[in-house]
Amino acid sequence: MQSIPACSVADVAAAARPRGFSLSQLVERAMQEAGRSSVERLYVGSTFCSQYFLRQPRRVWREAFALCRRLGVPATLVVPVFSQKDLAAGCERIDRLVYGFGDVVDEITVNDVGMLAFCVERYGCSVNAGRLFSKEPRDPRYVRLFEERHTVAIPALLTEVFRRGEVRGIEIDPTHAALDLAPLSGLMPHIQVGVHVPYCYLTTGALCELASVHRPVRQKFRPNASCSLECARCAVGYELPSGVRMLRWGRTVLFPNHDCLISEGEEFRMIVTPFDALVRS
């Protein structure tokens, strides 16, 4: 297994200081727990939540990019799916980040077709297809399905853009007990595969339970409603009678899959998100 170590603070960077970490300490802890002594890339932004992307404090953005400069590593800007009401603000924020921190941002990960087309046309950096493009089955409660050795394939929607060379990488989750990357790497050897570990996202959506808690009843559970980054201060854990554990982080539910086996001999980018460090703190 040839893995390139990377760390993702997308969706979680704002939670570092409320839990007693600097961003540098959080990244170091994440990589240590993953058994790696170094990091070669930092992911910043958000996969799952447009409100987080728009409301992450400027201080946190600056701290993340300053860390990249200090470590001498590039940054991947992770862009979520924006609703129509937030699209203009989202595009403006992406412009400011790509052009303002172009010395470290050399790659963008997108999660919908519209933003893929926008970024390919507008920016000169590499573009990756993010986690939300993948529709692979995922649910540890279905044991027989989960314990299969799963062969990873390119989503049909993206096959043509990969062939045209518009997308340089694809990011996936540890959806099963074992992942086989060989057919994917053999079909398109120029594609950089990134696997997010050790948590797999199970489901996500436009409603945030945490952001609704303090609102009046008639204002609760509104899609893509503005928030105060409640996810930076609170997370919810579940343990089912079967022993399966789950984590609600903002509007997303994830499950840990620390023991996922990834096919040996295939080079991939191991993207570590520090959920364990944040939840334990």
Exposure on the CB side of residue 266, measured as CA atoms within 13 A? 25
Supply the pTM of this predicted model: 0.94
The pLDDT of residue 265: 60
> Who's near 200: CB < 8 A, 6+ residues apart?
138, 173, 174, 175, 254, 255, 256, 257, 260
Burial 203-242 (b: 16+ CB within 10 A, else e): ebeeebebbbeeeeeeeeeeebeebebbbbeebeeeeeee
Scan for tokens 């789950």, then name that residue: 246
**Distance separating alpha carbons of residues 136 and 129, to the nearest angstrom:** 14
Distance of CA 263 to the CA centre of its chain: 21
Q: What is the pLDDT of residue 245?
A: 95
268 is written with which tokens? 């991939």
Q: Which uninterrupted H or E stretch holds 170? A: strand 169-172
What pLDDT is recorded for position 225? 81
> Mind listing the pLDDT tens digit of every residue in the chain (281 residues)?
578 999 999 999 999 999 999 999 999 999 999 999 999 999 999 999 999 999 999 999 999 999 999 999 999 999 999 999 999 999 999 999 999 999 999 999 999 999 999 999 999 899 999 999 998 899 999 999 999 999 988 777 677 777 677 788 999 999 999 999 988 777 777 889 999 999 999 999 888 887 777 777 777 777 788 888 999 998 999 998 888 999 999 999 999 999 999 986 668 999 999 999 999 86
Q: What is the pLDDT of residue 271?
A: 98
